[in-house]
């Protein structure tokens, strides 16, 4: 599994990484050129600096181009990218919490029903 990163991750030429993104991440190319292979997608994508793509599945392979184009002032020959999580889905309450709330509602309903029934008898 690949962690989501705030700092750019560097890839050397021809280096690859596997990304598990079923929870949803946004990939942004910071520098260099990356290719991206996704399951069940016929063509690879090539992404340059500033390009972004939202990933929503596991087993995504990214790789650095053989010779990334570098700016004149860049001393190193590598590609960089960032992974940022997409909006987090709302967490579901635990089963015990749901049952506790249902039990509390049932208890209130029974008490209210009992007081109505006793008032009708009087």
pLDDT digits (tens, 9 = 90+) for 9-20: 999 999 999 999
Q: Are residues 42 and 96 in the same domain?
A: no
Q: How many domains would you assign to the chain?
A: 2
Same domain, 70 and 101: no
Rounded CA-CA distance 82/80 in Å is 7
Where do runs of H (alpha helix) occur along the chain?
95-121
Residues 112 and 77 in one domain: no
Contact 29, 47 (CB under 8 A): yes
In this structure, what CATH number is given to the domain that contains residue 20? 2.60.120.10
- In the predicted model, residues of the chain with pLDDT beneath 70 are 1-5, 68-76, 88-99, 117, 120-122
Confidence at residue 1, expressed as pLDDT on a 0 to 100 scale: 44
**CB contact at 8 A, 42 and 95:** no
Same domain membership, residue 40 and residue 57: yes
Are 62 and 39 a contacting pair, CB within 8 Å?
no
Same domain, 79 and 24: yes
Instruction: Look up the domain containing 117 and give its range.
Output: 92-122
């Amino acid at each position: 599994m690949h962690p989501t990163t705030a700092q750019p991750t560097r890839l050397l030429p021809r280096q690859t990484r596997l990304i598990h993104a079923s929870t949803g991440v946004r990939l942004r190319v910071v520098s260099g050129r990356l290719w991206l292979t996704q399951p069940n997608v016929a063509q690879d994508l090539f992404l340059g600096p500033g390009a972004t793509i939202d990933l929503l599945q596991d087993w995504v392979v990214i790789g650095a181009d053989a010779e990334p184009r570098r700016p004149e002032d860049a001393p190193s020959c590598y590609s960089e990218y960032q992974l940022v999580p997409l909006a987090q889905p709302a967490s579901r309450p635990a089963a015990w919490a749901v049952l506790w709330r249902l039990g509390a509602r049932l208890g209130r309903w029974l008490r209210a029903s009992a007081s109505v029934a006793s008032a009708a008898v009087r």
